[in-house]
Amino acid sequence: MIAQAEQGQTVKTEIERRTIQVAGLFSLGASFATDGTLITSQENFLRFFPERGAGQVTLGLVKVKPGTDPNQVVAQIKAILPQDAIASTKQEYVAFEQAYWEKTTPIGIVFTFGTVMAFVVGTVIVFQILSTDVNEHIGEYATFKAMGYRDRYLLLIVFEEAILLATLGFIPGLGLALGQYALIRQAASLPIAMTFARLAFVFFLTMVMCIVSGLIATRKVQSADPADIF
Partner 1 sequence: MALTSEIKSDSSPKPAIAVEQLDHFFGKGELRKQVLFEINLSIASGEIVILTGPSGSGKTTLLSLMGGLRSPQGGSLRILDTELVGAPKTVTVESRRSCGYIFQAHNLHSSLTAIENVMMGLEVHGVYPRTERRDHAVQMLELVGLEKRIHYYPENLSGGQKQRVAIARALVSHPQIVLADEPTAALDKQSGRDVVTLMQKLAKEQGCTILMVTHDNRILDIADRIVYMEDGKLVKNSEPSMLPASLPGKSG
| Footprint on this chain of partner 1 (rule: CB under 8 A) | 139-140, 143-150, 225-228, 230
- For partner 1, which is the closer residue by CB, 62 or 227? 227
> Taking the CB of residue 79, how many other CB atoms lie within 10 A of it?
8
The CA distances from residue 189 to 29, 35, 88, 151, in Å, are 5, 9, 27, 54
- For partner 1, which is the closer residue by CB, 92 or 133? 133
- The nearest distance, CB 153 to partner 1, in angstroms, is 8
For the packed helices 106-136 and 196-217, what is the interaxial angle rounded to 10 degrees?
Answer: 40
- For partner 1, which is the closer residue by CB, 127 or 144? 144
- The nearest distance, CB 162 to partner 1, in angstroms, is 18
- For partner 1, which is the closer residue by CB, 61 or 147? 147
The three-point CA angle 91-96-102 to 5° equals 120
- The nearest distance, CB 229 to partner 1, in angstroms, is 9
- The nearest distance, CB 220 to partner 1, in angstroms, is 16
